[in-house]
Structure 1
Amino acid sequence: MNKAVFLDRDGVINEVLTQRVRFVNKPSDFYLLPGVGEAIKLMNDLGYNVFVVTNQGGIGLGYMKESALEKVHQKMKDDLKAFGASIDDIAYCPHKPHAGCACRKPKPQMLLDIAERYAIDLAESYMVGDREPDIDAGREAGTKTVLVGNREESSIAASMQFTDLLAFSKWLAGDSI
């Protein structure tokens, strides 16, 4: 069985709800957060499969088409390649919020599907997110959960918390932060 790090996208990998970017609906809206390229490269070097699991309700709401999302994800891969980093696969939920689908986080279906496809040991894996639905999905899938960012929502019960993805990846590598 393989071990993995599942990453939420917006707010973990890239900017969202900042002065520069409100939502990421086209490649020109996509900006890696500081340290993300180095963090994912380190995860790759440590032998973790790295997957992105992201809710993309903008598709269901008509703000973007799946073809535009594919272009955003290609930009993400290209930006990461500059650091020698790579993502093994990307899963996304295109449905509207509150659509009741099985794939939208906080439900764990995206993680479970990837785990089956890639023979992932969920108990030895991590779900990294910046919001409660990410943490809930990881917990329901059976992963360890990691909250990143400086959210004031202290009620989110993750297994661990870090300021950003690079701090978490250094912890994974055994470095002191």
Structure 2
Amino acid sequence: MKLVILDRDGVINQDRDDFVKNSLEWVALPRSLEAIALLSQAGWHVVVATNQSGLGRGLFDMHALNAMHEKMHRLAHKAGGRIDAVFFCPHKPDSQCACRKPLPGMVLDIAERFGVRPESLPLIGDSLRDLQAVAAVGGQPILVRTGKGDATLAKGDLPPRTQVFDDLFIAAEYLIGQGDD
């Protein structure tokens, strides 16, 4: 099974310093929905893994998060793609949970749910914590320069084997091309 994990904010949709709090604030990045369609049509399963501490901070509720994800699913479908699942961590950074990236809890949960080896998984993200979560299980970290990606790249200290691409669409083309080898 070909499965890719995508971070949400800064990879699929615009990120905000004050958090994406509702479906009106959820705005797709250019070509991100087309990238999901490209992956889906090439036989990839697309799963989103996202830290959503805005829930734990009381900035939005489950109804608002569900509305954001419904919009993301609908727009991905309209573009010809499919998101197979969305995993999220609702906890604040200081909660000591196992699911919040950079810990690998969500990556391990996704691997178990879909019956794949965690080390076979690529994760496309825009922050160091995204890359660290997949690197912790031996998977493939992929950084996109959208969202916080340029700042992450400038700080350096990326996990070994990190691939860097301008955006999700180019990263998707790369992953699909890897299967052609």
Corresponding residue of 2:86: 90
- Matched AA of 2:172: S
Segment drifting more, 150-159 vs 93-102:
150-159
Shift of 1:51: 0.4
Corresponding residue of 1:5: 4
User: Number of paired residues?
Assistant: 171
Is 2:113 aligned against 1:110?
no
Deviations 1:109-147 (A, max 9, x none): 111111111112333320111001100001113211101
Segment drifting more, 116-125 vs 101-110:
116-125
Deviations 1:139-160 (A, max 9, x none): 1132111011123223223521
Corresponding residue of 2:53: 57
Q: 1:155 aligns with which of 154, 157, 161?
A: 157
Aligned residues of 2:89 and 2:100 also touching (Cα < 8 A): yes
Distance in 2 separating the partners of 1:85 and 1:58: 27
Is 2:168 aligned against 1:165?
yes
Segment drifting more, 147-156 vs 24-33:
147-156
Aligned residues of 1:111 and 1:138 also touching (Cα < 8 A): yes
SS in structure 1 at match of 2:28: coil
Distance in 2 separating the partners of 1:160 and 1:79: 27
TM-score (norm 1): 0.91
SS in structure 2 at match of 1:171: helix
SS in structure 2 at match of 1:27: coil
Unaligned segments of structure 1, at least 5 residues: none
Superposition RMSD in Å: 1.6
TM-score (norm 2): 0.89
Aligned residues of 1:53 and 1:110 also touching (Cα < 8 A): yes
SS in structure 2 at match of 1:128: strand
Q: 2:19 aligns with which of 2, 18, 23?
A: 23
Unaligned segments of structure 2, at least 5 residues: none
Segment drifting more, 54-63 vs 118-127:
118-127
What does 1:38-53 correspond to in 2, within 5 Å? 38-53=34-49
Segment drifting more, 115-124 vs 43-52:
115-124
Shift of 1:17: 2.7
Aligned residues of 1:3 and 1:122 also touching (Cα < 8 A): no
